């Protein structure tokens, strides 16, 4: 089903069946798999390959050249896997070089107005919410959740099952399983995501112990890693490997003043059903000592 007003270059390759809406534009170097829906006014350009069973929403712009000063020709590539949902006005750019590829895996969900820049690698089962901006060369691993209006600095890596809170700024790597809120600060574990993925109490306790060693023990990162190596857990090993492979460094812990805890942190913890009175008593005792 191809609307008669759609503009499709003769050299574009479309596998059947496809559903292309009114005034959609598909340029010559585009390959589109089976059972793909392209809504009205979407524009598919560049050396772009799109797999099967994808949904591309109204006004989405897929495969345009990177937003890099001095680039005048779209030589890069974009690969999109299967079963992705790309909603209204999402923008995804090709890579910066002909021998590189911007890569989108399978089963991802990109909400309206989100942006994926050049040379990014989005793996599988990732959710990126409305208005979030992912800069160039960013890697987002499986089952990560990026809330609305988040900005991620270029070359940052976001670990598996990490969650980024809304309106956050991410300028360093985010460890797997962590919850980041605000200005690149780790608040705790992504407990909701872990439980939804079937992590048991034992596994969560292992990850929590690793979190406490890294972010609560006041050890240097190198000493924390040495301590983590004594733990027998595949999830802790994943965290260690992520730390050792980091080039930008990892996001630090969230530490607030007493009044920030009272007026900002505690209401948030209350919503998470955490017994905040224990933190209040501890903080109050420190403040008067």
Task: Report the CATH number that the domain containing residue 216 is assigned in CATH.
Answer: 1.20.1180.10
Q: Do 62 and 190 belong to one domain? A: yes
* Contact (Cβ atoms closer than 8 angstroms) between residue 136 and residue 154: yes
Expressed as residue numbers, the domain containing 146 is 7-195
CA 88, CA 95: separation in Å to the nearest integer? 22
Residues 217 and 282 in one domain: no
pLDDT at 274: 55
The pLDDT tens digits for 233-256 are 999 999 999 999 999 999 999 876
Instruction: Please tell me the predicted confidence (pLDDT) of residue 155.
Output: 98
Q: Let me know whether 270 and 187 are in one domain.
A: no
Low-confidence ranges of the chain (pLDDT < 50): 276
> Counting beta carbons within 10 angstroms of the beta carbon of residue 153, is it exposed (0 to 12), middle (13 to 18) or buried (19 or more)?
middle
DSSP state of 106: S
**Number of domains within the chain:** 3
Is the residue at 2 inside a domain? no
The reply to whether 137 and 264 lie within a common domain is: no
Q: Which residues are catalytic?
A: 118-119, 136
Nearest to 79 by CA among 37, 122, 17: 122
Tell me: do 82 and 95 sit in the same domain: yes
Label residue 274 exposed, middle or buried (CB < 10 Å: 0-12, 13-18, 19+). middle
Yes or no: say if 127 and 141 are a contact pair by the CB < 8 Å rule. no
Whether residue 264 is found in the same domain as residue 212: no
The domain boundary, picked from 178, 195, 212, lies at 195
Q: Are residues 30 and 96 in the same domain?
A: yes
Residue 243 falls within a domain, yes or no? yes
Which helix (H) or strand (E) element contains residue 226? helix 221-228
Q: Rounded CA gap, 156 and 281, in Å?
A: 37
Residues 40 and 25 grouped into a single domain:
yes
Encode pLDDT of 253-265 as tens digits: 987 666 656 556 6
Give the pLDDT score at 264: 60
């Amino acid at each position: 089903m191809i609307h008669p007003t759609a503009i499709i270059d003769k050299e574009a390759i479309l596998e059947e069946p496809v559903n292309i809406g009114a005034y959609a534009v598909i340029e010559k170097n585009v390959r589109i798999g089976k059972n793909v829906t392209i809504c009205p006014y979407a524009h598919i350009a560049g050396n772009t390959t799109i797999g099967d069973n994808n949904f591309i929403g109204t006004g989405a712009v897929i495969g345009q050249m990177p937003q890099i000063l001095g680039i005048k020709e779209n030589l890069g590539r974009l690969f999109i896997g299967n079963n992705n949902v790309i909603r209204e006005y999402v923008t995804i750019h090709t890579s910066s070089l002909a021998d590189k590829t911007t890569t989108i895996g399978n089963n991802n969900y990109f909400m309206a107005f989100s942006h994926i820049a050049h040379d990014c690698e989005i793996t599988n089962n990732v959710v990126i919410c409305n208005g979030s901006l992912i800069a160039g060369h960013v890697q987002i691993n499986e089952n990560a959740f990026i809330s609305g209006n988040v900005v991620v600095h270029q070359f940052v890596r976001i670990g598996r099952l990490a969650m980024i809170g809304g309106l956050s700024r991410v300028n360093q790597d985010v460890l797997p399983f962590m919850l980041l809120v605000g200005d690149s600060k780790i608040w705790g574990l992504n407990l909701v995501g872990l439980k939804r993925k079937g992590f048991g109490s034992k596994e969560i306790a292992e990850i929590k112990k690793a979190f406490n060693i890294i972010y609560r023990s006041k050890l240097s990162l190198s000493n924390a890693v040495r301590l983590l190596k004594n733990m027998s857990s595949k999830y802790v090993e994943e965290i260690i490997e992520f730390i050792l492979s980091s080039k930008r460094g990892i996001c630090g812990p969230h530490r607030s003043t007493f009044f920030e805890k009272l007026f900002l942190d505690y209401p948030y913890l209350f919503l998470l059903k955490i017994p905040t009175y224990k933190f209040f008593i501890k903080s109050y005792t420190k403040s008067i000592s």
